[in-house]
Structure 1
Amino acid sequence: MRPKASRLLPVGVAAMLATLVAVFYYPVGSVLSSAIYAGGRLTVDPLVAVLGDPFYTGAAHSLVTDPASVPGGVVGWIDAGMPRVEFGLFGFTAYQALLSTVVSVAVGLPGAYLLARFEFPGRAFLRSVTILPFVMPSILVAVGFLAMFGYTGVVNDLLGLVGLGPLELVGTLKVIILAHAFYNAPLVTRLVTAAWESVDTRRVETARTLGASPLQAFRDVTLPQLVPAVLTSAVLTFIFTFMSFPIVLALGGLELATVEVWLFSRVQNLALAEAATLGAIETALSLGLIYVYLRFEATQISAHGEGRTRARTPLFVGWRSLVDPRRVGLLAYSLVAGVLFVGPLASLVIESLTTPDGAFTLDYYAFLIAQQASAAVGTVQPLAAITNSLLFGVGALLLALPMGVLVSVVATRESRGSRLAEALLTAPLAVSGIVLGLGMLRTLVFGTTAFGHRLTITGPVVIVAVHAVAAYPFVTRNVTPALSGIDDRLVDAARSLGASRSTALVDIELPLIVPALVAGAAFAFAISIGEFDSTVLLAEGVDSATMPVALERYTANRSLGPNLGPATAMGTVLLAVTIVSFVFIDRAGRRWER
């Protein structure tokens, strides 16, 4: 039995690589190859067609179409007083990502200071909700901002009570940046809090003893240890916002389209060749950004110290708190942050229960029930969407858990090929859902020929596969630290008694990582429930529509006018299912652990 067990890990890795080849590398490879292969030959014509189009690259298109004119063009631009330059779709995508990153960091840093330096009731809860970006469906957040800032939203209702307004933010870059900050500021807070708490206070005390002021000690000792975390979170935020799709689609539409939104539009218009080339360019850019992120992350890890940490001080110390500028500032920040983070979700629920006149109603939920009985073509039945989401989530979970654990095992092994295998197994992190969905359409959905047979995979099978690919990296992110923290002596003792490496894994290591495994399962299920980017391309008609897809279709249904009631009702259902599912898996895992 032991020889077979010793081959279990290599066989598992081989099976996972084969699965990824079928449902990830081959589909994504078909998209990437379209940028350099057309008409049966290698060519750069597709790349030149996109990069040389001013719509995509603005003034930079001359670098492709007429490089010799660039120096003269720069001189002419300077002579003209350096007027505003258009950088096209890619430039706008990077611009909105940069603004979103700046705002997210600005909102997240005070939160990190608050959590790292002060103790107060509810601190543990606030720190735990910084995982919000990873479990909250992005289309749900977008509808929440519509419910809050829309023409008939909560903010305009409140402004109307005092004779002000209306405030028109929907369809502007401002609301997109705010929605991105909702998603990414908690991520900044989480990463920087961990770095701030790891600062060795003995070095700070030494600087103070040598005459440094508190500000000088912060600048010379604390700040250098925080910079890697700030840069890491900023790069990660830029990546997320550069590839943002549902938020921009719902709040900005094609008028404020980013690369992802325009790529989706090209697929809808069946301009698949142009969409594939655009997706290939975006993937190349995202791979570069991921590389930069991994370098910054490695810097952050190396910057963490193991010294004595500083004890947190109470936030509330009687009447003195009312005159302390720091505490007053943090209180004001807490109020603003509370509106930003709680407001959209609260507005979602409020709008689903009130009419435009402010009266209580259950009509929007009745509308969903009526849709359930409707036989009209194109009607998304809410119960079917809920059922599909739950079934797809279970299927994705069953696949993502063993895949994530396998990657974690490979990542923690010290061998010559482990780093290469880890890189190959974590590649899905660098590819957007739209690109993966487009690749699946071009290959498995439309059909591909293998060994003389035409293979076609559609419906729930392809959606579950895509969800599992999107979810398993989050299992890995939870399991790898726990697996790395296991005392090697336990495994060595088991190996010395004759256990194989795989037997030690099953009998010793896996039982010790149950909490991380359960956390990974909760993340994987929540990721599947909220996955929208690839699902909106792969869902066939209404039979395989999920809750996020149904939510987007209710939001885009112009026959309902400006009334977001049905969409907010569907969003409230999605919010409830996401929270209940996440809490259920987490609580079940805790009981199993005990």
Structure 2
Amino acid sequence: MAGTDAVDGDGGATQERRGTSGLIDRVRASAREVAERHALPICAAGTVLLLLAIFYYPVATVFRESVVVDGRATLSVFWAVLADPFYFGELARVLTGTPPSVVLDSLLSGDPRLGVVGFTAYQAALSSVASVALGLPAAYLLSRYEFPGRRTLRSLTILPFVLPSIMVAVGFVATFGQNGTLNTVLGALGLGQVDLLFSLEAVVVAHAFYNAPLVARVTTAAWESVDASAVETARSLGASPTRAFCDVVAPQIYPAVVLGTVLTFVFTFGTFPIVLALGGFELATVEVFVYRLVRDLEYAEAAALALVELGISLALLYAYLRYEARHTVAAEGIRPLPRRPLRPPSLSVRELAPRVGLALYVVVALAVFVAPIASMVYASLTGPTGPTLAHYEFLLERQVSGASFQVQPWDAVRNSLLFAGAALAVALPMGVVVAVLTTRRYRGRKVLDAVAMAPLAVSGIVVGLGLLRGLVFGVEVGGTRVAVGGALAIVAAHAVAGYPFVVRTVAPGLAGLDRSLVESARALGASRARVLADIELPLVWPAVVAGAAFAVAISIGEFSATVVLASGTSQFTMPIAIERFIGRRLGPATAMGVVLLVVTSASFLVIDHLGGETDAF
């Protein structure tokens, strides 16, 4: 009987443990279900709060400086900037009471005063024209001809987004400088030297180096989306090849050209490192003057000028997003135009003419796109007496000397990699969440897209100044002053610069997914977060990895915000080191530029190797 009681007791205990275990499992399942159901809203709220903390609040802090002086609100500083002919040229006279007709006559004169803002817009317009002129032939080549290496060449159009601008500036100095490769070649041919450095031409060509591939990329995608059957129908109705192109192909291409032009204008309107290195003070843009005002501690005037720049850039960016929404070409169910072999099957004039034009374009493209990088590498390996490694030895000696007032090359490399890793950890989840939010159909989605893409229009100088004034200097929260270190501020600036590129790579993939897969999973009871994690993200994984590669490469090459936040600290990066060197000796600057090129390319390739081809922008 006692044994029976013992067995009953053990059985009861086992049954009780099973009941407890089942209860725990049910509680866990319920908690997991609640977490999955609310995961996406929580991530969205966290992303919004993070953006407010590291971008919108710092930027608002900068603009507050322009309207709040000595503790009281005033528009005097902002008005003074608008009415200053130094900044707005002839247009400033309108605010001082000059009749508009008189101002218009002055603007139409042979040599009108443009002011800093007018000159910035002028050089941005020239850069946009040059970028379109170089980008369209490349788009024609990539979309209409088949040749070995075409896919590789198409992939290379993404390179400008991962090449640091200060490094490209060094390459252009090595190419167009007084002792650059261009003058070396001209001297060998017995021709006179040219001095393109510190000229508007050098700035425009350098901007075209960056933005012509962007124009080529978006235009190629549009050209490949043209339905061949529509062209064939026009031809069958008697249209000539030129008429068919003008009536069928061109209307589907020009929106992409407009998009590329607007983006180029926005990017070059806020230019900084290239103008700083190649333009000199006489060609300084708004961004350069904002930086100078910050260095002179004229924060109110710098903020007012930055507000003008932001207003122009945001207006153009918003117009671009609306235009993109209206002119997006659906590529589903179309038959693309067939590509012709680059090597003509016959020697007819009709077959050879476009190919001769493309051959001439290739010569120009090599001079613009390849020569600066090749010149930088060449200059780093040569000296007055011939080939040498002295410039790299200089970097090693600088590292060994360890002087506290000097930039240490290895420390710059280490800081760049650490900042890039930390920025990736912030930018990648932010970008994925924003991409998810901006690809859902609901009212106000385009406004959210414009707000989320605002960092593309806000200059790095403004972001850096805002983080410096708003977070590094500290902010009062409940009677306690909260401040962050310079390193955290730099990571925040790099994350802000990188996450829009994550959005622009991931969002097209999410938008193009078959919605029936998502709807089927939801019908079977899967939560929104589970569908995203198990179905959507695995299908767009190459785009996610490409976005990560962008974030890392952009962080490594970021200069504008970093130069503000790293001033007076030891948190310098490779671009900062190049800027310090280029003002003293070109050789070490080119050697550091090669190091930056190797590190950036290796980081991008290692990460992108895990993903695949993507169509950012």
What TM-score range do you get, normalising by the shorter chain?
A: over 0.9
In the other structure, the counterpart of 1:114 is 141
Unaligned runs of 5+ in 2: 1-31, 613-617
Report the alpha carbon displacement of residue 476 of structure 1 after superposing the two structures with TM.
0.9
Report the alpha carbon displacement of residue 374 of structure 1 after superposing the two structures with TM.
2.2
TM-score, with normalisation over the residues of structure 2?
Answer: 0.91
Which of structures 1 and 2 has the bigger CA Rg?
Answer: 2
C-alpha deviations, 1:393-425, integer Å up to 9, x for none?
000011111101100111122345655544443
Provide the rounded CA distance (Å) in 2 between the counterparts of 1:138 and 1:290: 21
Report the alpha carbon displacement of residue 254 of structure 1 after superposing the two structures with TM.
1.5
In the other structure, the counterpart of 2:198 is 171
Match of 2:99 among 47, 52, 70: 70
* Contact 1:198–1:306, Cα closer than 8 Å, also in 2: no
Match of 1:356 among 380, 384, 406: 384
C-alpha deviations, 1:17-64, integer Å up to 9, x for none?
111111111110012223333333332211111011110011111122
Provide the rounded CA distance (Å) in 1 between the counterparts of 2:296 and 2:594: 31
TM-score, with normalisation over the residues of structure 1?
Answer: 0.94
* Contact 1:17–1:425, Cα closer than 8 Å, also in 2: no
Provide the rounded CA distance (Å) in 1 between the counterparts of 2:407 and 2:166: 16
C-alpha deviations, 1:271-314, integer Å up to 9, x for none?
11111111111111111111121122223305768532111000
* Contact 1:321–1:327, Cα closer than 8 Å, also in 2: no
Report the alpha carbon displacement of residue 321 of structure 1 after superposing the two structures with TM.
7.8
Provide the rounded CA distance (Å) in 2 between the counterparts of 1:579 and 1:230: 28
Provide the rounded CA distance (Å) in 2 between the counterparts of 1:221 and 1:76: 41
In the other structure, the counterpart of 2:596 is 574
* Contact 1:479–1:517, Cα closer than 8 Å, also in 2: yes
* Contact 1:232–1:300, Cα closer than 8 Å, also in 2: no
More divergent stretch after superposition (246-255 vs 320-329) = 320-329
Q: Give the RMSD, CA atoms, in angstroms.
A: 2.0
Question: Is residue 344 from structure 1 mapped to residue 369 from structure 2 by the alignment?
Answer: no
Match of 2:79 among 31, 48, 51: 48
Question: Is residue 425 from structure 1 mapped to residue 465 from structure 2 by the alignment?
Answer: no
SS of the equivalent of 1:301 reads coil
Unaligned runs of 5+ in 1: none
In the other structure, the counterpart of 1:28 is 59
Counterpart amino acid of 1:338?
L
> In 2 relative to 1, CA 427–168 (structure 1 residues): closer, same or farther, beyond 3 Å?
same
Counterpart amino acid of 1:61?
A
Counterpart amino acid of 1:401?
L
Runs of 4 or more above 6 Å deviation:
none
* Contact 2:379–2:587, Cα closer than 8 Å, also in 1: yes
Match of 1:324 among 334, 349, 352: 352
SS of the equivalent of 1:311 reads coil
Provide the rounded CA distance (Å) in 2 between the counterparts of 1:542 and 1:320: 65
Provide the rounded CA distance (Å) in 1 between the counterparts of 2:195 and 2:552: 36
SS of the equivalent of 2:383 reads coil
Provide the rounded CA distance (Å) in 1 between the counterparts of 2:489 and 2:314: 24
Tell me the percent identity: 54
In the other structure, the counterpart of 1:546 is 573
Report the alpha carbon displacement of residue 330 of structure 1 after superposing the two structures with TM.
0.6
Provide the rounded CA distance (Å) in 1 between the counterparts of 2:389 and 2:527: 61
More divergent stretch after superposition (32-41 vs 446-455) = 32-41
Provide the rounded CA distance (Å) in 2 between the counterparts of 1:260 and 1:335: 33
Provide the rounded CA distance (Å) in 1 between the counterparts of 2:151 and 2:348: 21
* Contact 1:379–1:542, Cα closer than 8 Å, also in 2: no
* Contact 2:222–2:329, Cα closer than 8 Å, also in 1: no
Question: Is residue 19 from structure 1 mapped to residue 41 from structure 2 by the alignment?
Answer: no
Equivalent residue runs for 1:74-153 within 5 Å? 74=103, 77=106, 82-153=109-180
More divergent stretch after superposition (272-281 vs 210-219) = 210-219
Provide the rounded CA distance (Å) in 2 between the counterparts of 1:138 and 1:76: 38
> In 2 relative to 1, CA 421–352 (structure 1 residues): closer, same or farther, beyond 3 Å?
same
* Contact 1:279–1:435, Cα closer than 8 Å, also in 2: yes
SS of the equivalent of 2:387 reads coil
* Contact 1:152–1:356, Cα closer than 8 Å, also in 2: no
Counterpart amino acid of 2:592?
M
More divergent stretch after superposition (460-469 vs 417-426) = 417-426
Equivalent residue runs for 1:188-587 within 5 Å? 188-302=215-329, 306-317=333-344, 320=347, 324-357=352-385, 359-416=386-443, 419=446, 421-541=448-568, 543-557=570-584, 560=585, 564-587=586-609
Report the alpha carbon displacement of residue 125 of structure 1 after superposing the two structures with TM.
1.0
Provide the rounded CA distance (Å) in 1 between the counterparts of 2:519 and 2:105: 70
* Contact 1:200–1:305, Cα closer than 8 Å, also in 2: no
* Contact 2:90–2:103, Cα closer than 8 Å, also in 1: no
More divergent stretch after superposition (270-279 vs 386-395) = 270-279
Aligned length: 581
Provide the rounded CA distance (Å) in 2 between the counterparts of 1:269 and 1:139: 23
